[in-house]
Structure 1
Amino acid sequence: MKASFESIVDVTAIGGQNSAKIHELLTLASKEELVQSVQDTDRVLFLGIDFQNDFMENGGLAVPNSHQDVANVTRFIYDNMERITTIAVSIDTHEPQQIFHPSWWVDLSGHNPEPLTIISAEDVDNGKWKPVEHYEVSKDYVHNLEKLGKKQLCIWPYHCLQGTNGAALESQFSNMIHFHSIARKSKLQKIVKGLDPLSEMYGIIKAEYDRSDYCNHEFLQSLKGYDKIIIAGEAKSHCVLESVKQIAEHYAKDREITSRIFLLEDCMSPITGFEESTNEEFKQLQIQYGINIVSSNSFSMD
């Protein structure tokens, strides 16, 4: 590598304003003389889940320790620039009026719920919480969440609103993945999720529940083309966990593929209050599907 890590990433600016000018950064990347990704014999996918401003420590839905996660993951990508074939990132994207935002619901006094309020099917049935509109489909949604054994509907702070700074990729992470795209002549894949106002989409493959039963089959199929699938992101307890579960469940009968999954444990953190349950679920994924949980500074690509 000709460019230093520090010329790409300013760790003191994580979660803040980007001082780098993208044209100058990518011009610097174009001067690297690295092997083009298309020539890789050992194909490696890095999947970064929701590394966005609103999930940083000063964001709208802050994840504790997310700044250190970004510092670790950008260093990992830099150190493995010549080994990572493709980078794909998910971008959580919402509007104010969505079923998991406060504006969707009111109580008997006409007040919106506070963030982290749990709304059960029983709450809707007995009128404790009522949607401002779309009553029948909202009722159907919370009932199906419970029927399918999903997380109950949680009201989140307004976050990742389309077109706002909170929805943008965190600046230093963005610097690194775009640098990789130019330096390795590799197309950066951006997966936008979460736009349906009537569903939650923690995982990148499909919603928690929706009537159309959408599934990102194209991305699932693409995973067969990689020898290693490395995953990190925010939050470990929700969007990372559900993404990994959805991939693993799809390939439940093909352990050869699920065993290619490597989670960077020091590049993802849970939302406060979900630590224990998240760790237990990941342990079960290890046992059931053979996924690997590793540290970014000790994981060998060989």
Structure 2
Amino acid sequence: MSVPFYHIFDKDSVGQLINPLPLNQILKWAGQATTAQTEENKPKILFLGIDIQTDFMDNGALGVAGAKQDVIRLSQFLYKHMDKLSKIIVSLDTHEVKQIFHPCWWVDIEGNHPAPYTIIKASDLTEGKWRATVDPALSKNYVRHLEKADKQLCIWPYHCINGTVGATLESQFNNIIHFISLARNIPLTKINKGQYPLSEMYGIIKPEYSMHDDTNTDLLTEIASFDKIIIAGEAKSHCVLESVRQICEYYFDKLEITRKIYVLTDCMSDIQGFEQYSETRYNILANKYKINLVKSTDNFL
């Protein structure tokens, strides 16, 4: 049974809170279309989707301009190549209100919270421009360690709050990956990240800083077992970039692994103002670790 793309994906509903396509019907079609994988020598291909969630869509709480079109292109790519995929892994940014990168964690001398996209520096804390309302000593330690690693603390709008609609997978992307998982009989794994209150966690592998070794080595080992690793998501400049960088830096001396990474550059967008930073960092990763920067329309599968 062949199910047309437009039966399981509604372009006009991308990023909307209401999904007009019932998942039960989509999964019924998927169950009727299920085919077993029979090619023993078939290349193992992983799709790794980073934070493709409602709050990161164009009009979301932390909206990324261009995200809707990214989801459309990505979903068309996955649908077209579903017979080649061996596994799907998706990450879900998952937060509570009181976390170090949200406004309520910080106040100025007059008790005002920082506006979203404010950068808080270690010098701001020393000079009293900002102070943490929770765990001041550990908060200052975190900011200092970020700067030592050539990073910075950015205050974000409240986003992906656990249990809210904004934290869910974008509805039409959700349709596609569940359809493919059932129809092709391949595993679909969902990974929550970002719950630790004293650190941001852009990358899927580990927090930005932790006093403990929180590296997800099991996931790294699994990723390395595939012949090709296809990566896309939101935002290109932050969570996708850091995920790719963390994988590359862990396997810094194993180019035979990092050269298997294919980043779909037309299926992700930068947070506004970080475009040049993003382009520079991806070019560095491509030159150093030989990752592949491709488009969803390229012939690489």
TM-score past 0.5 threshold: yes
User: SS at 1:219's partner residue?
Assistant: helix
Give me the whole-angstrom Cα distance separating, in 1, the residues matched to 2:14 and 2:41: 31
What does residue 234 of structure 1 align with? Answer: 234
- 2:92 pairs with 1:91: yes
What does residue 58 of structure 2 align with? Answer: 57
Give me the whole-angstrom Cα distance separating, in 1, the residues matched to 2:127 and 2:142: 16
Query: CA offsets per residue over residues 15-64 of structure 1, 9 Å max, x none?
Result: 01211211111110011143338956210000000000000001000001
Give the aligned CA root-mean-square deviation in angstroms: 1.2
Correspondences of 1:64-143 after superposition (within 5 Å): 64-143=65-144
Q: Which runs of 5+ in 1 are unaligned?
A: none
User: SS at 1:283's partner residue?
Assistant: helix
Correspondences of 1:40-51 after superposition (within 5 Å): 41-51=42-52
Q: Which runs of 5+ in 2 are unaligned?
A: none
* Closer, same or farther: CA 37–284 of 1 in aligned 2, 3 Å: farther
Contact 2:34–2:182 (CA under 8 A) maintained in structure 1:
no
Contact 2:94–2:192 (CA under 8 A) maintained in structure 1:
yes
Q: Using the TM superposition, give the Cα deviation of residue 133 of structure 1 relative to its aligned residue in structure 2, in angstroms.
A: 2.0
- 2:6 pairs with 1:6: yes
Give me the whole-angstrom Cα distance separating, in 2, the residues matched to 1:204 and 1:102: 23
Correspondences of 1:148-227 after superposition (within 5 Å): 148-149=149-150, 151-227=151-227
4+ aligned runs moved over 2 Å, structure 1? 33-41
Query: CA offsets per residue over residues 209-240 of structure 1, 9 Å max, x none?
Result: 01123011000000222100000000000000
Give me the whole-angstrom Cα distance separating, in 1, the residues matched to 2:187 and 2:68: 26
Instruction: Give the aligned residue type for 1:21.
Output: P
Give me the whole-angstrom Cα distance separating, in 1, the residues matched to 2:259 and 2:37: 26
Give me the whole-angstrom Cα distance separating, in 2, the residues matched to 1:176 and 1:76: 10
Q: Using the TM superposition, give the Cα deviation of residue 199 of structure 1 relative to its aligned residue in structure 2, in angstroms.
A: 0.3
Contact 1:37–1:185 (CA under 8 A) maintained in structure 2:
no
Q: Using the TM superposition, give the Cα deviation of residue 113 of structure 1 relative to its aligned residue in structure 2, in angstroms.
A: 0.2
Q: Using the TM superposition, give the Cα deviation of residue 93 of structure 1 relative to its aligned residue in structure 2, in angstroms.
A: 0.3
Give me the whole-angstrom Cα distance separating, in 2, the residues matched to 1:184 and 1:3: 13
Contact 1:34–1:82 (CA under 8 A) maintained in structure 2:
no
TM-score with structure 1 length normalisation? Answer: 0.97
Give me the whole-angstrom Cα distance separating, in 1, the residues matched to 2:57 and 2:203: 19
Percent identical pairs in the alignment equals 50
Q: Number of residue pairs matched?
A: 300
